[in-house]
Structure 1
Amino acid sequence: MMDKVDFAILRQLQDDGRLTNVDLSERIHLSPSPCLRRVKKLEAETVITGYRATLDREKVGLGMTVFVDVSLENHKDQTSLQFEESIIAMPNVLSCFVVSGQSDYRLEVVVHNLKEYEAILRTIQTLPFVKDIHSNFAIRAVKTDAPLPIQEAQS
């Protein structure tokens, strides 16, 4: 069970994952040793799943984002498992969600250009059990990489 201090730690680390333990402990008004213990506990419990730099997609040459809706021929467990394993192995696929509605999956794909997307699309088309694919090209990003809106549960 997390308390208000844990949530304060998480909010601070979402804002700046490079905070030193001393800086973090000062911001949440806790001494460094208990602060570090709490962070280690949150990591061990996989509440904190990792730390990474957030990159500007345009500046690293991945300025094209495509949302791809994929429908499968059937919904058997093995079908979904094979599809998901293939998608997980594709580095240009940033996220994959099982969705309700007309499609079974929604993928977020980043590429350098249309030619590169075409190659990825061909790969997706050749995956077993893929029935239908619809692509939506992002025109402009309005909001990305926002921190999770976490807060302590109200009693």
Structure 2
Amino acid sequence: MLDHTDQRILEELSKNSRITMKELGEKVHLTGQAAASRVAKLEDQGVIEGYTIKVNQEKLGYSIHAFITVITQSMNHQPYLTFVKTQQEIIHNYKISGDGCYLLECKFPSNERLDQFLTELNKHANYKLSIVINK
């Protein structure tokens, strides 16, 4: 169970994982060394699994953000899963319950590329497309 200080550390690291241990310590009322020890402990316990960056997809030329509910056509999902592994536009592939079998979060540079993707996807599964209008 995490105490209040550990929760604050996670909150601060979630905002900025590049923060120095000294700055982190100041924010959670610890020394830099004590903050570093707490972070190391959280990493050892598997609470912190890694650090990442947030990329602005629009600035990379991917202006279309889509969620695609996927309904597989058979109980054998392997052809679909193999297809998914080869597609660079997929941000996340979630296995879900409810209306579909999977939920894809994707980014596309153009409607033409989206159409190509959906044509290929339709060889493996049916789908329902939702386009993000605004965040």
Q: CA RMSD in A?
A: 2.1
Q: CA deviation at 1:84?
A: 3.8
Q: Does 1:60 align with 2:60?
A: yes
Per-residue CA distance 1:12-68 (angstroms, 9 max, x = gap)? 011111100111011101122221122122223332222222222222211101111
1:102 matched residue in structure 2: 99
- In the alignment, the residues of structure 2 paired with residue 46 and residue 120 of structure 1 have an alpha-carbon distance, to the nearest angstrom, of 36
In structure 2, what residue type is equivalent to 1:41?
K
- In the alignment, the residues of structure 2 paired with residue 59 and residue 120 of structure 1 have an alpha-carbon distance, to the nearest angstrom, of 21
2:37 matched residue in structure 1: 37
Show the 5 A alignment for 1:9-20. Answer: 9-20=9-20
SS of 2:58's equivalent in the other structure is coil
Q: Among all aligned residue pairs of Structure 1 and Structure 2, give the percentage whose two residues are the same amino acid.
A: 24
Structure 1: gaps spanning 5 or more residues = 142-155
Distance 1:113 1:39, change over 3 A: same
- Residues 22 and 33, structure 2, Cα contact 8 Å, conserved in 1: no
SS of 1:19's equivalent in the other structure is coil
Runs of at least 4 residues off by over 3 Å = 80-86
Distance 1:49 1:74, change over 3 A: same
Distance 1:108 1:34, change over 3 A: same
Show the 5 A alignment for 1:106-125. Answer: 106-125=103-122
Q: CA deviation at 1:69?
A: 0.9
1:134 matched residue in structure 2: 128
TM-score, normalising length: structure 1: 0.75
Per-residue CA distance 1:64-85 (angstroms, 9 max, x = gap)? 011111111334xxx3455445
- In the alignment, the residues of structure 2 paired with residue 93 and residue 47 of structure 1 have an alpha-carbon distance, to the nearest angstrom, of 26
SS of 2:25's equivalent in the other structure is helix
Count the aligned residue pairs: 135
Structure 2: gaps spanning 5 or more residues = none
Could you say which structure has the greater relative contact order, defined with CA pairs below 8 angstroms and 6 or more residues apart?
1
Q: CA deviation at 1:6?
A: 1.0
